[in-house]
A = this chain, B = another copy of it.
Amino acid sequence: MAQNGKLANDLVQKLERDIVTGVLKPGDKLDERSLSERFGVSRTPVREALQTLAGSGLVATMPRRGTIVASITVGELIEMFEVMAELEAMCARLAARRMPRADIENLIALAGECDALQEHSDADAYYEANVSFHEAIYAGCRNSFLERQTKTVRNRLAPYRRLQLHRPGRVKTSNSEHEDILNAISTGDADTAGRLMRQHVAVQGEALNDLLAIVPRGYLEPLAG
């Protein structure tokens, strides 16, 4: 989409990965000069990369005050999860109607992978498998615009979503929900698939309190900025 120069695009990829995987945390400063010498390029492509990331919301730039990895308010967190749940629900609903048999077989395999990894309590490995499962459903909706849109919002939420897995018992629950979603998609029950996915992704009630309780300092903006 955003087709900048090669150097800038490489930087976008690297920085995006670092932010999504948590190497760079919300609030971390992104100094243009430091980045430019660290990557051996001039400030120009660095600036382009930062602007692209600002466009997708992953970083925030204040004029004359620099760029930081985006941190959001509690309100925004709730808003974004609300939208995320709906986008994923739409993916699941469409996937139930459009996903070819062969892709469903693959989805079954991915669900099995999640299931296998749940035992080992290796949070990172499980997280990756979980991402693959969800992305397979995005792809299954056969709407690449929706797929991209969904991934963008998910990336934006990644730093916070990752935290959920550290809640005891969450992985087990999550896995059984996968099973039900998979069944609905497999049988072509679009409404059920959408409803289950919405609930699977939504963060509300107790779950919201739990999440907020384990968000580290700095991940959320103070009430007065």
A interface residues with partner B (beta carbon < 8 Å)? 1-6, 47-48, 51-52, 54-57, 60-63, 76, 79-80, 82-83, 86, 90, 143-146, 149, 153
CA distance A153 to B149 in the complex (A): 10
CB–CB B63/A1 < 8 A = no
Asked whether A79 and B144 contact (CB < 8 A) given A3-B54, A3-B62, the answer is: yes
Which residues in B have their C-beta under 8 angstroms from that of A2?
51, 54-55, 61
Task: Output the nearest chain B residue to A146 by Cβ-Cβ distance.
Answer: B83
Which residues in B have their C-beta under 8 angstroms from that of A5?
63
Which residues in B have their C-beta under 8 angstroms from that of A79?
143-146
CA distance A149 to B5 in the complex (A): 26
Which residues in B have their C-beta under 8 angstroms from that of A48?
47, 51
CB–CB A63/B3 < 8 A = yes
How many copies of this chain? 2
Which residues in B have their C-beta under 8 angstroms from that of A56?
55
Which residues in B have their C-beta under 8 angstroms from that of A82?
143, 145-146
CB–CB A63/B143 < 8 A = no
CA distance A56 to B149 in the complex (A): 11
Q: Tell me the minimal C-beta distance from A96 to chain B in angstroms.
A: 15
CA distance A57 to B144 in the complex (A): 14
The contact sample of 23 A-B pairs, CB cut-off 8 A, is A1-B54, A1-B55, A1-B57, A2-B54, A2-B55, A3-B54, A3-B60, A3-B62, A4-B61, A5-B63, A51-B51, A51-B52, A55-B55, A55-B56, A76-B144, A76-B145, A79-B144, A79-B146, A82-B143, A82-B146, A83-B90, A83-B149, A86-B86
Q: Tell me the minimal C-beta distance from A61 to chain B in angstroms.
A: 5
Q: Tell me the minimal C-beta distance from A203 to chain B in angstroms.
A: 14
CB–CB B63/A6 < 8 A = yes
Residue among A62, A83, A144 with the highest chain B CB neighbour number at 10 A: A83
CA distance A54 to B145 in the complex (A): 15
CA distance A3 to B83 in the complex (A): 23
CA distance A61 to B52 in the complex (A): 13
